[in-house]
């Protein structure tokens, strides 16, 4: 039976753990805050007592951690990596991912970056979108494992390409949510009924399903119970900007949005759903 170590059991990591258990895998779990593994342990997961021993007896190590530095700190603390495959599913920078691949190779292990698009509901039903970056042989070896959380995991290229794809997609989340919020504010100011606006938008080439997904939350100012927080969105946008500049691109158009997301901390929006940035596009008052 396949044995997996899962390191990081926040909202997404916990849901991935539930899915792996439901699929019949043997799961060992660790989280920096130990109380966050309790429900997974109650469901049959095996607690990891010492972080350094996480990889022992495991076929693969999946990490779902905040960012690249957090992932690197945890992975560098692991012993017995020879023959193990490290599969980080969190968002991180391109160079950060490549550095982890180099480290795993130096320890006799393999590496497959597998950031995901989707959140808790998609993780629970196995419909996350996985964008893998790895050697094709490593992807083939781990494809069955990935299929437990994704209907069709995609190999997008070598290590670094998965990280780049995930950052590109998360930039769209930020930009599209911001643009939709501004459009809603403007039509409301002009007394255009929101449903009239949506009836025109939905059949057009401008429409994206995320607009309807977040519309009710925005109109009702219901931002609690997030699957993806404003703080995480800001972190990913800042990382995208960093990678874009290092690649010689011109991301100046995003500077206003990044500044706005920094303001979210003062407005206590950080731990709320990312569409709470709608609160920051209200009318500017003297």
Please state which architecture CATH assigns to domain 3-159. 3-Layer(aba) Sandwich (3.40)
Those residues whose C-beta lies under 8 Å from the C-beta of residue 242, and which sit 6 or more positions away, are: 93
What are the pLDDT tens digits along the chain (286 aa)?
799 999 999 999 999 999 999 999 999 999 999 999 999 999 999 999 999 999 999 999 999 999 999 999 999 999 999 999 999 999 999 999 999 999 999 999 999 999 999 999 999 999 999 999 999 999 999 999 999 999 999 999 999 999 999 999 999 999 999 999 999 999 999 999 999 999 999 999 999 999 999 999 999 999 999 989 999 999 999 999 999 999 999 999 999 999 999 988 888 999 999 999 999 999 765 4
CA 200/CA 204 separation, integer angstroms:
7
- Among candidates 178, 104, 191, which has minimal Cα distance to 142? 104
Where in the chain is CATH 1.10.1040.10?
163-281
Those residues whose C-beta lies under 8 Å from the C-beta of residue 17, and which sit 6 or more positions away, are: 6, 9, 27, 29, 40, 45
Q: What is the pTM of this model?
A: 0.94
φ, ψ dihedrals at 157, nearest 5°: 155, -160
Where in the chain is CATH 3.40.50.720?
3-159
CB atoms within 10 A of CB 15: 23
- Among candidates 119, 222, 229, 246, which has minimal Cα distance to 174? 229
CATH 3.30.70.380 fits 163-281, yes or no: no
CA 253/CA 260 separation, integer angstroms:
13
């Amino acid at each position: 039976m396949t044995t997996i170590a899962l390191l990081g059991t926040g909202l997404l990591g916990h849901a991935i753990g539930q899915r792996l258990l439901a699929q019949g895998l043997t799961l060992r779990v660790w989280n920096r805050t130990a109380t966050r593994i309790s429900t997974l342990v109650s469901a049959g997961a095996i607690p990891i007592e010492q972080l350094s021993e996480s990889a022992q007896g495991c076929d693969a190590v999946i990490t779902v951690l905040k960012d690249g530095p957090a992932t690197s700190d945890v992975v560098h603390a692991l012993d017995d990596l020879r023959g193990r495959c490290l599969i980080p599913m969190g968002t991180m920078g391109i160079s950060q991912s490549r550095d982890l691949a180099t480290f795993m190779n130096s320890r006799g292990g393999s590496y497959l970056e597998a950031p995901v698009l989707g959140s808790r509901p998609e993780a629970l039903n196995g419909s996350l979108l996985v964008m893998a970056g790895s050697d094709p042989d490593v992807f083939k070896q781990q494809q069955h494992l990935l299929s437990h959380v994704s209907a069709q995991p995609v190999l997008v290229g070598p290590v670094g390409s998965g990280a780049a794809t995930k950052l590109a997609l998360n930039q769209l989340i930020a930009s599209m949510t911001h643009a939709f919020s501004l459009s809603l504010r403007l039509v409301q100011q002009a007394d255009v009924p929101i449903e009239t606006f949506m009836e025109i938008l939905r059949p057009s080439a401008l429409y994206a399903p995320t607009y309807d997904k977040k519309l009710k939350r925005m109109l009702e100012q219901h931002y609690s119970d997030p699957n993806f927080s404003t703080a995480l969105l800001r972190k990913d946008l800042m990382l995208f900007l960093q990678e874009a500049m290092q690649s010689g691109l011109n991301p100046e158009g995003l500077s206003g949005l990044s500044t706005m997301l920094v303001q979210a901390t003062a407005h206590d929006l950080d731990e709320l759903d990312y569409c709470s940035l709608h609160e920051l596009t209200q009318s500017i008052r003297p």
